[in-house]
Structure 1
Amino acid sequence: MENLTMDATDMSRFNAFSIISVGYKTVGDHTITADVLYPKTLNDSTQQHKSPSGPRPVLLRYHGGGLIAGYSLFPPFFSPWYLELAQEYSAVIVSPNYRLLPESSVLDVLEDVEDHWHRMHQSLPALLQRETKGTVEADLRRIMTVGDSAGGYLSLQMALNHPDEIRSVNAVYPMVNPKASYFSSGEERPVFNLPTYPLDTLRLHLDYVRRQEAVMQKPVIVSAAADAERFRLMFAACQHSQLGQNFPEAPITPYLLERLDAGARFPRGGVLILHGRDDSVAPVTESYALQGKLAQVDPNLNFRLVVRDGEHGFDHLAKLHDNWLCDAIQDIVRSWLV
């Protein structure tokens, strides 16, 4: 917990990138933003001879945080190897925020990322033209979705939404099945080595939110939150297996496995899942369940699950050219770039 709050303001990992922040949606009077990052070398006149020409591929990246915490540029949740990947191929990263639970619903989250998809296609070319004076262009025909934890869940969801427009997919220790007992049983379980937070942490927070809404006469909306109280809320929901209880019962929309059973399919360029064998936040068994489901309904998909020793977040120490990672990503990168 201390590391999350201590590192929250250390933006040094983004030093090699120019960042454009822009609103893409307004709900009531609340603006939801997205960040566009591109290597500074693309906009540096002294480096133009070294920079590739033409429109650049796009990494569409979704942040983690259990759908409860974090934001698009929260440093501890932004895997360094994604930044290395963007530098390696002079790619543009697009990283949207979205409404967070429990103030909003998971259907609101999915609506936001879908609205962002359409807004990105409408406005990103003009945004880059204006902000970079035409020196940086994005190739929206070459999109790879990426994300870890809750961001991995959203990466997979968007890939099912747009299988013909997204080249390939990466998800790292994703939440695959919110209905699994690990996420929804209400049973207590250890998460990292954290102290156990009270069972009623989530309920008390929601009670406070409802009182705020009654006073203000409007919904409370949160789309970026990374303080200690918010992380206690996130970890309490994980420790007491409550996250899945925030998902609706009826619609198949939030459920990846049900969507696959109903005929949804991933992009033909391939799907790569990376998962830690010792994950105490999102169990690796659920990624194996996704692998099994795809073997049944889409056996020809280029799907790869790479399981490594380590906890949730194990890849944050990885380097792009580490042998195991370089080998793991080669197929999805090739599909992304061709």
Structure 2
Amino acid sequence: MAFPLPRAHPVLPRFERVDLCYKTLGSTEFEAAILVSHSLASSSRKTNRPLLVHFHGGGLLMGTILDSAILSVWPLELAENENAVVVSPAYRLLPEAKGGDILDDIKDFWIWVRSSLPTEIAKRWPHISLDVDRAAVFGESAGGYLSLQSAFLCPEANIKLVMPQYGAMFPDIDEYLPKVPQSTPGSDDIVDAYLKNIEPGAIRLLSPYPTFGPFAGAVAGAGRHRDLLGDDKRLNLDYGLNNVKVLPPVWVAQGTDDTIVSKEASDELVKRIRNTHPNTPLLYSVQPGGHGFDNDHTLAEPWITEAMEFVQKHWP
């Protein structure tokens, strides 16, 4: 399994960044990065701006806030064009945490967004009024999964648009990470050794690419991702679809040759959404390429240009 290497992100330097604590567990602070474009930050004109939330990928095992190795270009270009405020939170990672712990972090993050973020924005950029009722959310891989879970489990967030990139990582989708008939030699040993050395109560919030790649590869080789997630029913797609009364518009992006989150998994995700929420506007963009196929795609990419018609109809 190949993992992306660090790269200089072409758009991130065009933003100011501030990191704030949105949650504390014991002595551990959970931070969220706030991005405001230099042009918006330097303006003196009072303005009411929409919100664009990002969850980073990494299989819920690794990654970090705004990791340049996996953060796609086009969403930041979209934020810049719309003068949207971008917010990207840290969350607990497997296997120190279980999947349910991560969902609790996401829930707490959205509570903070609604209760505290507008005030924090106004403190640092007095001319910016943040409109949390104009929120869209996106994320790559695990971040796409958490974007969808935000819509399913956090209706109070009042999300207007969900844009998951190859995020069909629900344990009740059989096509996601099919069970490995025979573990890759040595994989179980690597996983077991790591689990044995976890200190009680340990919290891990970041592992930038590619530092945690060997363990993540061992988890995949041993077919143990579902085991590490745990059995919290909220992790499942069917629970989310049955929990949410009104699902916001969804734009799903997927690569045809993805070997980590397969096209068949996203096909199943889209099918179930359409079956259970037929009135929800849904765009399904399938393009050539593997996991992270859109990493360097810009808004000028034809398929993204076409998708922007869907985006503009529902957000900001």
> Is TM more than 0.5 here?
yes
Q: Does the alignment pair 1:203 with 2:192?
A: yes
CA distance in 1, matches of 2:66, 2:277: 34
* Residue pair 1:144, 1:169 contacting (<8 A) in 2 also: yes
* Aligned equivalent of 2:244, options 250, 264, 275: 264
Find the aligned partners of 1:314 and 1:2 in 2 and give their Cα distance. Answer: 13
TM-score normalised over the length of structure 1: 0.86
Task: Report whether the alignment pairs 1:252 with 2:228.
Answer: no
After the TM superposition, which segments of 4 or more aligned residues of structure 1 sit over 4 Å from their partners?
none
Which position in structure 2 is the counterpart of 1:174? 167
Distance (Å, rounded) in 1 between the aligned partners of 2:161 and 2:251:
8
Write out aligned runs for 1:278-317 (5 A).
Answer: 278-317=257-296
**Residue 153 of structure 1, CA deviation:** 0.3
Q: Give the secondary structure class of the aligned counterpart of 2:234.
A: coil
Q: CA offsets, 1:16-51, max 9 Å, x none?
A: 000010111111211111001011101224xx57xx
Name the counterpart of 1:119.
Answer: 112
Q: Is the alpha carbon distance of 1:33 and 1:145 closer, same or farther for their aligned partners in structure 2, counting shifts above 3 Å?
A: same
Cα deviation code 1:246-269 (max 9, x no counterpart): 2333x4211123332x3424534x
How far did 1:12 drift? 5.5
CA distance in 1, matches of 2:186, 2:124: 45
Give the deviation of 1:99 after TM superposition.
Answer: 0.5
> Do structure 1's residue 105 and structure 2's residue 98 form an aligned pair?
yes
> Which of 223, 246, 252 is the matching residue for 2:205?
223
- What letter matches 1:146 in structure 2? F
Aligned to 1:15: 13
CA distances 1:63-120 after superposition (whole Å, capped 9, x unpaired): 0000010111211121111110101111110100000000011111000011011112
Contact 2:3 2:210 in 1 (8 A): no
Distance in 2 between residues matched to 1:167 and 1:333, nearest whole Å: 11
Q: Secondary structure at the match of 1:328?
A: helix
Distance in 2 (alpha carbons) for counterparts of 1:188 and 1:330: 45
Q: Is the 8 A contact 1:169 1:267 kept in 2?
A: no
Tell me, yes or no, if structure 1 residue 329 matches structure 2 residue 308. yes
Match of 2:77 among 60, 63, 84: 84
Where does structure 1 lack aligned partners over 5 or more consecutive residues?
191-195
SS state of the match for residue 37, structure 1? Answer: strand
**What root-mean-square deviation, in Å, do the aligned CA atoms of Structure 1 and Structure 2 show?**
2.3
Q: Could you tell me how far 1:3 is from its partner in structure 2?
A: 7.3
What TM-score do you get using the length of structure 2 for normalisation? 0.91
- Does structure 2 conserve the Cα–Cα contact (< 8 Å) formed by 1:42 and 1:135? no
Corresponding letter in the other structure for 2:73: P
SS in 1 for 2:315: helix
Q: Shift in Å at residue 187 of structure 1? A: 3.9
Q: Are the equivalent residues in 1 in contact too, given 2:49–2:129 (CA < 8 A)?
A: yes
Greater shift in the superposed pair: 196-205 or 165-174 = 196-205
Distance 2:11 2:169 in 1: 29
Could you say if the C-alpha distance between residues 12 and 40 of structure 1 is closer, same or farther in structure 2, counting changes exceeding 3 Å? same
Q: Which residue in 1 is equivalent to 2:179?
A: 185
Q: What is the count of residue pairs matched by the alignment?
A: 314
For 1:221, the aligned partner's letter is I
In structure 2, the residue matched to 1:55 is 48
Cα deviation 1:177-231 (Å, max 9, x = unaligned): 22426436244699xxxxx87332222111111xxx2xxxx51110111264412
Q: Which amino acid aligns with 2:292?
A: G
The one of 140, 144, 157 aligned to 2:132? 140
Change (3 A) 1:169 1:71: same
Task: Say which of 62, 65, 70 aligns to 1:69.
Answer: 62
Distance 1:175 1:205 in 2: 26
Instruction: Indicate the percent of aligned positions where both proteins have the same amino acid.
Output: 28
* Aligned residue type for 1:56: R
